[in-house]
A and B are shown apart, each in its own frame.
Chain A
Amino acid sequence: MDVIKKVFSGKKMSVKILMSIFITAVAVVMVAATGVGVVQAANPSTRVIVAQGADATTLDPHMHRETTTSNVLSHIYDTLIMRGSDMSLQPLLAESWTYINDTTLEIHLKKGIRFHNGEELTAETVKYNFDRVTGKLPGARLTKVSYRYVNVKDSEVVDKYALRVHLFHPDSLFLGQLSELPIVPKEYTEKHGFEILDTRPVGTGPYKLKKWEHESQIVLTRNPDYFRGSAAIEEVVFRVLPDPMTRVAELMTGGVDIIVNLPPDSIPQVEMQSNLAVKTVPSARVAYVWFNMLETPQFADVRVRRALNYAVDVEAIIKYVYGGHGMRISTMAPPYFTGYDPKDPVYSYDPEKARALLREAGYGDGFTVTMLTTRGRFLNDILLAQTIASYLEEVGVHVNINAVEFGVFAKQTQERRIPEMMLAALGTSSFNVLDAMRTIVRSGDQAFSWYSNPKVDVLIDKAAKTIDEEEHEWLLQEALDILYEDPPFIYLFALEDIYGVNRRVDWQPRSDERIYLYDARILPQ
Chain B
Amino acid sequence: MGRYLAQRVAHACLVVLGVSVLVFCISRLSGDPVSLMLPMDAPRSERIRIMHELGLDKPIYVQYLTYLKRLITGDLGQSIRYRQPVIELIAQNLPNTLQLAGISLTLAVGIGVPLGIWAGFKQDSLVDRGLMVITTAGQSVASFWLASLLILFLGVRWRLLPISGSGTLLHLIMPALTLALRPAIVFARLTRSSVREVLPQDFIQVARAKGLAQTQILGKHVLKNAAIPIVTVLGMELGVLLGGAVITEQIFGWPGIGTLSIQAIYTRDFPVIQAVTLLVSTMVVLANLLVDLVYLWLNPQVRLGGES
A, B in one complex: yes
| Interface pair A407/B31, CB less than 8 Å apart | yes
**Bound-state Cα–Cα, A415 to B163, Å:** 42
Give A38's nearest chain B residue, CB to CB.
B167
Q: A239-B253, A411-B31 are in contact. Are A440 and B40 (CB under 8 A)?
A: yes
Contact of A147 among B46, B99, B109, B163 (CB under 8 A): B46
A20-B114, A215-B259, A249-B155 are contacts. A147–B43 as well, Cβ < 8 Å? yes
Identify B110's interface contact among A9, A24, A65, CB under 8 A. A24
Using CB atoms, name the residue of chain A closest to B50.
A144
Do A241 and B253 touch (CB < 8 A)? yes
Within 8 A of A (CB), among B131-187: 148, 151-152, 155-156, 159, 162-169, 171-172, 176
Q: Which of B59-67, B76-84, B292-300 contacts A (4 or more CB under 8 A)?
A: B76-84
A31 at the interface (CB under 8 A from B): yes
- Contact (Cβ within 8 A) B30 A408: yes
Q: In the bound complex, what is the Cα–Cα distance between A252 and B166 (angstroms)? A: 19
Residues of A with C-beta under 8 A to B163 = 246, 249-250, 253, 255
Residues of chain B with a CB closer than 8 A to A63's CB: 83
In which size bucket is the chain B interface? Answer: 35 or more
Q: CA–CA, A447 to B268, complex, Å? A: 23
Most-contacted residue by chain A among B31, B89, B263, B266 (CB, 10 A): B31
B17 contacts the other chain (CB 8 A): no
Residues from chain B with Cβ under 8 Å of A458 in the complex? none
Do B169 and A32 have beta carbons less than 8 Å apart? Answer: yes
- Closest residue of chain A to B164 (Cβ to Cβ) is A246
Closest B residue, CB atoms, query A29? B169
Distance of A13 Cα from B109 Cα, bound (Å): 18
B168 interface neighbour in A35, A414, A448, Cβ under 8 Å: A35
CB <8 Å contact, A446 and B43: yes
Interface size of A by CB at 8 A reads 71
Nearest chain B CB to A3 CB, angstrom units? 12
Closest Cβ of chain B: how far from A143's Cβ, in Å?
A: 11
- Inside 8 A of A13's CB, which chain B residues have their CB? 118, 121-122, 214
Tell whether A255 pairs with B115 under 8 Å between CB atoms, given A33-B169, A407-B31: no
* Chain A minimum-CB-distance residue to B172: A32
CB contacts (< 8 Å) of B255 on chain A: these are 213-216, 240
CA distance A208 to B122 in the complex (A): 63
Known: A5-B215, A21-B111. 18 other contacts (CB 8 A): A9-B213, A13-B122, A14-B118, A17-B115, A20-B110, A21-B110, A23-B110, A38-B167, A39-B162, A147-B45, A213-B255, A215-B259, A243-B253, A250-B163, A253-B156, A407-B267, A408-B30, A411-B35
A residues with a Cβ closer than 8 A to B are 5, 8-9, 13-14, 16-17, 20-21, 23-25, 27-29, 31-39, 41, 54-55, 57-58, 63, 65, 142, 144, 147, 198, 213-217, 239-243, 245-246, 249-250, 252-253, 255, 405-408, 410-411, 413-415, 426-427, 435, 438-440, 445-448
A-B CB contact pairs (8 Å), 9 listed: A5-B213, A20-B110, A27-B106, A28-B103, A31-B106, A32-B176, A63-B83, A241-B164, A249-B155
